[in-house]
Amino acid sequence: MEDLANQILAVADWLTLHVTVWVLVGTGLFLTIASRGVQLRHFPSMIRAVTGSRQGAKGGISSFQAFTISLAARVGVGNVFGVAAALLMGGPGAIFWMWIVALVGMATAFFEATLAQVFKVRVADGTFRGGPAYYISLGMKNKVLASVFAVITVVTCAFVITSVQSNAIAGTLLSALGDAGSEPVIASLTRAQIIIGALLFVFSSMVIFGGIRTVARVTEWMAPIMATIYVIMVAVIVIVNIGQFGAVLGQIFSSAFAPQPLVGGLGGGILAALINGTKRGLFSNEAGQGTAPNAAATATVAHPVSQGLIQSLGVFIDTVIVCTATAFVILIAGPDVWGAEGISPANLTSVAVANELGQWTIMPMAVLIFVLAYSSIIAAYVYSETNMTFVTGKKWATWTVRVISVGSVVLGALVSLDLVWNAVDIAMAVMTVTNLIALLWLSKWGLGALRDYEAQRKAGVEIPVFVGTDNPLLPGDLPTDTWAEEKVS
């Protein structure tokens, strides 16, 4: 099994280096140029959009709730374990490439969220569904490719991502508990493992079985609070060690282009930095991957671009703020921590925090990682159910996704998942490339919506309203009546 896991990892690295990185960055650059740097020009608008995003839901899912669902998925263990893995295997330079992926990814996130809104559909309960499967089907008129994407997303989100996140929770809590509850009870399972699995079952089933509206209500307060607490904690460490700020920045920039590792105890070299920075950056912020648009489409908004701007800001928060904060804590900790015996991506960040603030932080960090991973679990469920609704809207299918999601959470807490951890990169690569092809194909729709939004704002309209028919700035009329004039006026 270990050999198979290593082979899958080799395939994932090859795909990242030779396919994903080029398509991802290339698409982001194209969309940045085509939109005249929408992520830079409209950055202040992103802030304003978030501050007013709790209003106007009209009984549906608010723009802010849709934003926090995707933020819950973005700000997860990728910000803790992913950054640590990028540093251990790619060196400080990996953080530079994470920044690059994020900055061009902000444009990608804007377009995929805007298109998800443009091509969204209303479902029986009055809320909306949308995402890559929908805009591939309705925009590209390719139902086969849309169905393939939807099935891959259902499997990846309902099984792979949920089990990987719960595995991270279990590993962190078991490490924090030490020898407590370590005696075997059933087969090789310990008492602590069983208790953690049971707790995850209870917490995940309470929310997942409640459906997407329940997830929206939970993430609305959970995602902002957990991100804020984590950033405050690492900010304290950075402020206390502010004298090392310049040196850490120097390590990141110099290592990004170094042919060989420059920092003892960490991996590195330009190739390793590029691969790990890109791979972990994508895993963390999800820009271009095609998952976050499923959340973006659920929002009830007056104009698709307003949600596109909000989702773009989510990439900035995730990578440029949260991931960078994690990287600074680890790099400040120094080689005594990086090279210590038993250090791995699963515990490096917690050990680094404890090194700076004291051993009392071990358990709070374990609880924080629990919340980070748990929020990603329930967000992944939203993505899987959205795509299952595309495949078939039958009620049994929806409940099947919920049962599989909860079951995968329990499974991930009880067994080792090296194979799944490595396979997730391949699944994400396939999803990403498929989604990016669709974004390029449909970019004229995203640009048309952006021009419509900007024209209204220039004319003094405070809250632009989008109409999908007889709109001269669009390539044509939308194939649904979601944005018909009588429905949005």
Q: Could you give all domains of the chain from N- to C-terminal order, each with its CATH number? A: 1-459 (1.20.1740.10)
Please enumerate in sequence order all residues whose Cβ is within 8 A of that of 239, keeping only pairs 6 or more positions apart, or say none: none
DSSP class of residue 181 equals T
**Average pLDDT value for residue range 152-178:** 79
What pLDDT sits at residue 32? 95
What pLDDT sits at residue 30? 94
Higher pLDDT, 135 or 247: 135
Higher pLDDT, 464 or 421: 464
What pLDDT sits at residue 489? 41
Lowest pLDDT segment from 134-138, 229-233, 479-483: 229-233
Say if residue 180's pLDDT is above 80.
Answer: no
Q: Chain-wide mean pLDDT for the chain?
A: 80
**Average pLDDT value for residue range 464-479:** 90
Please enumerate in sequence order all residues whose Cβ is within 8 A of that of 271, keeping only pairs 6 or more positions apart, or say none: 17
Q: pTM above 0.85?
A: no
Which tokens is 293 given? 């648009």
**Average pLDDT value for residue range 326-350:** 77
Q: Judging by beta carbons within 10 Å of its beta carbon (0-12, 13-18, 19+), is residue 331 exposed, middle or buried?
A: buried
What pLDDT sits at residue 186? 66
pLDDT tier at 54, thresholds 50, 70, 90: low
Higher pLDDT, 117 or 358: 117
What pLDDT sits at residue 258? 65
303 vs 128: CA distance, rounded Å: 14
**Average pLDDT value for residue range 314-324:** 84
435 vs 157: CA distance, rounded Å: 15
Q: Which residues pair with 190 in a beta bridge?
A: 184
Say if residue 369's pLDDT is above 60.
Answer: yes
pLDDT tier at 486, thresholds 50, 70, 90: very low
Say if residue 243's pLDDT is above 60.
Answer: yes
Q: What is the DSSP string of 54-92?
A: TS--TTSB-HHHHHHHHHHHHSSGGGTHHHHHHHHHH-T
What pLDDT sits at residue 283? 62
308 vs 314: CA distance, rounded Å: 10
**Average pLDDT value for residue range 429-436:** 88
Coil, strand or helix: which one is 271? helix
Place of tokens 């809320």: 127
What pLDDT sits at residue 315? 87
What pLDDT sits at residue 159? 81
Candidates 215, 223, 132, 226; CA nearest to 401 is 215
Kind and range of the H or E element at 452? helix 443-458
Higher pLDDT, 220 or 313: 313
Kind and range of the H or E element at 44? helix 43-51
Cβ 25 vs Cβ 282: under 8 Å: no
